[in-house]
Amino acid sequence: DLHNSNNGLPSSNSDTSLPYSSIVNLDRGDTVLLESYWRKMRKESIVEIEGWEFLSYASDLKSVCWFMMPELRDAIKKLHALVGNAETDDRQIVLGNGSTQLFQAALFALSASSDGPVNVVAAAPYYSGYPDETDLVRSSLYKWSGDAKDYEKQEAYIEIVTSPNNPDGSIRGPVVMSNKCDGEGKLIHDLAYYWPHYTPITYQANHDLMLFTFSKCTGHSGSRIGWAIVKDIDIAKKMTTFIVLNSIGVSKESQARAAKIMGVVCNSYQSFKFDGSNNNKESQLFFEFNRHLLKERWEKLREVVKQSDRFLLPRFQKTYCNFTNESFETYPAFAWLMSKDEEDCGSYLEKKLRVVARSGNRFGSDPKYVRINMLTTGDDFDEFLERLSNIKDITF
Ligand code: PMP
């Protein structure tokens, strides 16, 4: 998630008249918050690979996705079975270099047999990667067509449903069906954040084509592992063709590490002995541990926003989670911060606080919004809160 037009750098040069000498960059989608759990699990999560291993491109020639290692397929299925967030039985799993590559593979597969370019839409605010990735190579198979809420063409379309949504954390379903459109429609469900550290698990998703990513699940964005769960075997075959022609598969070192890490998550639940206290869960169990950290950040941010009275944050209702058997709110990986007074919240934060965040207009929305990364480093997050809480004292 690095699609900033300016590579995450602020647009202005350093200005010594500003009250802060350093820049706090909350633009990127990095997932460093999840690091502390993995530091705790150092020994359990080590992967050793010897020089003779993993020379072949292939892993399992009997499978549709023949470059995927069987142990990773098994680990993914086990993790979904544990959490209950997605159905994997009788479905194909296609592996990609992050869900970024799989998104493009899905566009290719879903539009490969149509005549004209298929319209690709998502309800605004939508993840800024979608328009950029859709139009990058100006494909004749598909083209970006903007906000799904406005889509009324009688033409074939693909709607991307992101739930919980990046950037605003909302829980979503498709919207085009309910418009006046009666063109042929296909759906991609991007469920990158449908894990119980971010949101209650309310149903076992069983959509036609679902995307998940190691980046947001365990925090290992740098391994570049994503997977698609696909009902239709022909679509899975086409997606595999795309990945093969694009990168002849996915690094086996990354696959081995992903399998190991997912195994550690599952084992923490299998070996857990509940002593009746929530502390015990929050110190040992992966999703509970990280939800606790994220919840703390959300509470601190809400408090500072309340004090300043200049911004608004979205609110989320408590919902029952089938995985944890508790009710809790969604704690999104991003905060969708709205300025009450400023038309351009991004440049306001940058000029006044030297805080860089992604502007609402990158998400097909209004520049009075910005997206703040809630999974950034502790230092950056604390510094951001500090600057935000001092905002009223700054006069220049
Ligand atoms: N989908 C969504 C909704 C995302 O937020 C991101 C990353 N920010 C991606 C896909 C891409 O993730 P990956 O690292 O797996 O390519």
Ligand 1 contact, 100 CB (< 6 A):
yes
Would the pLDDT of 8 be above 50?
A: no
Region 54-83: mean pLDDT is: 98
CATH number of the domain residue 307 falls in: 3.90.1150.10
- The pLDDT of residue 12 is above 80: no
State whether residue 126 is helix, strand or coil.
coil
Provide the pLDDT confidence category of residue 41 given band limits of 50, 70 and 90. Answer: very high
Contact 119, 147 (CB under 8 A): no
Q: What is the pLDDT of residue 17?
A: 55
Q: List pLDDT tens digits, range 96-150.
A: 999 999 999 999 999 999 888 999 999 999 999 999 999 999 999 999 999 999 9
68: closest CA among 266, 219, 236, 231?
A: 236
Tens-place pLDDT, residues 317-371: 999 999 999 999 999 999 999 999 999 999 999 999 999 999 999 999 999 999 9
How many helices (DSSP H) and strands (DSSP E) are in the chain?
Answer: 11, 15
Residue 377 located in a structural domain: yes
Q: Which neighbouring-strand residues pair with 94?
A: 228
Q: Are residues 314 and 234 in the same domain?
A: no
**190 C-beta closer than 6 A to ligand 1:** yes
Single out the residue in 234, 268, 302 at which a domain terminates.
Answer: 268
Model confidence, pTM: 0.94
Tokens of 146: 């903007």
How far is 315 from 170, CA to CA, in rounded Å?
9
CA distances 289 to 259, 281, 296, Å, are 20, 7, 11
Q: Is 17 helix (H, G, I), strand (E, B) or coil?
A: coil
Question: CB-based contacts of 132: which residues, under 8 Å, 6+ apart?
Answer: 3
Residue 166 in contact with ligand 1 by CB distance below 6 A? yes
Query: 246-292 pLDDT, tens per residue?
Result: 999 999 999 999 999 999 999 999 988 888 888 888 888 999 999 99
**Domain final position from 216, 245, 268:** 268
CB 363 within 8 A of CB 279: no
Per-residue pLDDT of 171-221, as tens digits, reads: 999 999 766 666 789 999 999 999 999 999 999 999 999 999 999 999 999
From 94, 107, 213, 218, mutation site for ligand 1 pocket: most ligand atoms within 8 A of C-beta: 213
Q: What pLDDT, on the 0 to 100 scale, is given for residue 391?
A: 83
d(CA 242, CA 103): 11
Pocket lining: 215 vs ligand 1, CB cutoff 6 Å: yes
Number of separate domains in the chain? 2
For ligand 1, the distance from its centroid to the CA atom of residue 334, given in whole angstroms, is 12
Query: Helices marked H in the chain — which ranges?
Result: 35-40, 70-83, 98-111, 129-135, 214-217, 233-247, 252-270, 278-284, 286-308, 345-353, 378-389
**Per-residue confidence (pLDDT) for residue 50, from 0 to 100:** 98
Q: Is the pLDDT of residue 14 over 80?
A: no
Q: Candidates 128, 215, 254: which one to mutate for ligand 1, based on the most atoms within 8 Å of Cβ? A: 215
Q: Across the strands, what pairs with 326?
A: 321
Range of the domain at 346: 24-38+278-393
The phi and psi torsions of 170 (rounded to 5 degrees) equal: -70, 150
Cβ 104 under 6 angstroms from ligand 1:
no
- Domain containing residue 251: CATH number: 3.40.640.10
